[in-house]
Chains A and B, each alone.
Chain A
Amino acid sequence: MFSLASVRTALGKPRLSLNDFATLISPAGGELLELLGQRARQMTQQRFGKVIRLFAPLYLSNECINNCQYCGFSRDNPILRVTLAVEEVREEARALLAEGFRNILLVSGEHPKFVSNGYMADCVGAIHEVAPSISLEIGPMETRDYLPLVQAGAEGLVVYQETYDPAVYHQMHTSGPKRDFAWRLATPERGYAAGFRRLGIGALYGLADWRYEAICLAAHAEYLLRNCWKACLTISLPRLRPCAGEFQPLTHMNDREMAQLLCAFRLMFPDVGLVLSTRESPRLRDGLVPLGVTLMSAGSHTEPGGYTGAGRNNLHHTKAGRIVELGASEWASASGEPAQATGQFDIADVRSPREVADTLRRLGYEPVWKDWDAALTS
C-alpha cells in the first residue's frame, strides 16, 4: 500500500502528519529502516543530547481487583500477594537510592482496600525528600483524588491504555473497574488537571495489531500535546512478557519492527520522551539506545519487596478480597529459598544498574540519575 517513494517523502518532511507516521511504520518503511535509524539518532541527539535518564520501578502492592488476561497480578491468579508497609516502601527506596536512582516509578495493582488513596499519598510523602522525581503507575483515579498525590510530591503519571482496540480491550479485561475503556483513556487528562507534569502513555504490544495500536497511540499523543500543553509526554513500548497465568500473546511485533516503531515515534514526535524497560534483552536494549530512547529502567524488580526482601513475612493469597494465610509448605521455594511475592512479569535484562550505566558510557552516552530537584515539586 505504501511505496518506498512515499517513505522517502515522509522522511524529508520537517513535520509529520499521522499519515506520514503510518507510512513510516509500514512494511515499506521497514525496508528503509537504516535511513529511519540515522534520522532518529540525529534528531534525538539534537533534542535530548548524548544522555539517557535512568529510573527504577518500585512495586508497592500486587493486590488487584481486575482480571486482565495478560497480567500476572489478575485477581483470580493464585499468586503470593503483599502490600508493603510505608516503612518498607522507604526501605526499598533507600536501596534504589544507593544504586544511584533519583527517579522512581511507584507501581501498584488496583485495589481500594489494600491500596487506598491515603496509603498512596503516604508512600509518596515518605520518599519524596530522598527521591526528587516520583511518578505513579497505579489504578486510574478522579482528578480530585490525584490532587493529594501531586501535593505530596508526585510529578509523573503513567497509564497505558494496553490496547486501543475497544473489542480486544473488552475481551482482555474480563472483570473489575478496568473494563471501562473510556475512563482509562481519559486518565492522562484527569492527571494533568490535577497538576502532574509528566504524562506517560503506551500500548501493550501483543494484544491487537501493532501498527493499529501505534497509529491510535500517535493520535492520542497528538491530542494530549495540544490539550495538555504544559505536560512532558513520554511514550513506552512494552511488549508482552511471560507472566503468571500462562497467557500467550495474540499478535507479534518482532525486534526489527520494534526498532522501526521507535524510530517512527521519534520522527513523528521530536520532543517526546521514549521509554525502554527491562522487558527487553540486553542486546536489543543496547542496540535501541541510539535510535531515540531517552529514558531507561535498569535492575528492575516487578515484585513488591524485590529490592530488599521487604514484606516477605506478610505474604498471603487473596480470595474475594480476603486474606488467606499461606500453607506451611508455601513459605519456601522447592530449593529452600524464602518465598517472595509474585512479580508482574519476567525481566529480560537482569544487568545491575551499574552495569547498564557502564554500558551506556561505552556507547557514548552519559547516564543521568538526577534530573529533577525536590524544590520544584515541594
Chain B
Amino acid sequence: MSLQNQPLVIAGRIFRSRLILGTGKFSSPEVMRSALEASGAEIVTVALRRADLTGKKDPFANILEFIDPTKFLLLPNTSGAMNADEAVRLARLAAAAGLPKWVKLEIHPDPRYLLPDPVETLHAAEVLVKEGFTVLPYINADPVLAKRLQDIGTATVMPLGSPIGSNRGIQSRDQIRIIIEQATVPVVVDAGLGAPSHAAEAMEMGADAVLVNTAIAVANDPNRMAIAFRMAVEAGRAAFESGAAVEQETASPTSPLTAFLD
C-alpha cells in the first residue's frame, strides 16, 4: 500500500524520497552504501574534503566510488570551510571535477557545535547563485536569514533542528514553524535528528524533507535504522498532507458547555 505522498521538487527536479542522507561517520564505505540503498534516498551529501577531486582515483580517498551517480543525486558539501571564500573555492573545485553543480553550503567556523555562520553563508550564497549553482544552505533556524537567502535565489533552506550529531531532535521548533510558514522554497530540516520520531515530527510540521546522517551511521544496524527513518519520513509526510489534527493547549470536550445554545 502506497501512501501516495506528493513528490519533492527542488530547483525543478523531482524526487520521490524526502529523506536525504549524509555519508560521514559510517564504519566502512560498504556499510554506507548499503544504508544508502536501504534508505530509499535519492539525494546524498558528501564532504568534499574527504573526496579526491583531482580525478586520479585516489584509493585512499575513494568515498565517491561507493555512491552510484545513476541512483543518487550527489550533493557536494563544503564542510570544513570557515568562511565564504573557502566555501566558494571548494564548490568551484567540485564543479570543475565534474560533480553536479549543486552544493550544500556549510560554513561552520566553530568546530565544537558546528553552528553555521550566517554572515559568511549569505555572502557565499550570493556568489554561488550568481555563478549558476543550485545552492542548499545549512543555517541556524533563523526565519529572517531564511528569507534573505530565498531572496537571493537559493534552492532550499536547511535549518538545523539541533547541533549536528547531537541527536537532540527539534529544539528550534518555533523558529522552524515560522520558516516553513513563510517559505517559497523547500525547507529541509538538517541536523540533530536522532530518532525516526524526530524526523516524523519535522515532516508533520510541514518540512519538505529531512537530512539524516549520525543517527543512521552510528546505529548498531545502520540498514534497519535507514529503513526506520524512511518509514518515519513517509508517515510524517502523509500525516501532514492528510491534515494532521492540530495540537492545542487545552482539552476539547465532546459535550461542550455551549451545546445548549444550538
Contact = CB atoms under 8 A, between A and B. Distances in A.
Chain B, interface size category, equals 20 to 34
Contacts of B89: 375-376, 378
A332 B59 CA distance: 38
B28 interface: yes
A45 B215 CA distance: 10
Interface string B42-61: 00000011111100001111
A26 to B, nearest CB: 26
Contacts of B26: 49-51, 366
B25 A376 contact: no
A368 interface: yes
A286 to B, nearest CB: 16
A46 B218 contact: yes
Please classify the interface of chain A as helix (H, G, I), strand (E, B), loop, or mixed, using the class held by over half of its residues: loop
A47 B165 contact: yes
Contacts of B82: 197, 230
Contacts of B100: none
Given A48-B25, A376-B80, A370 B110 contact: no
Given A46-B167, A50-B218, A51-B25, A373 B93 contact: yes
Contact of A49 (B49, B93, B113, B217): B217
A230 B60 CA distance: 28
Nearest to B114: A271
Chain A, interface size category, equals 20 to 34
- Residue of A231, A361, A370, A378 with most chain B CB atoms under a 10 A cut-off: A370
Contacts of B51: 370, 373
A245 B123 CA distance: 56
A293 B29 CA distance: 20
B50 A376 contact: no
Interface of B: 24-29, 48-53, 58-61, 80-82, 86, 89-90, 93, 109-113, 165, 167, 214, 217-218
8 contacts: A46-B218, A49-B25, A50-B26, A132-B49, A197-B82, A361-B28, A366-B29, A369-B60
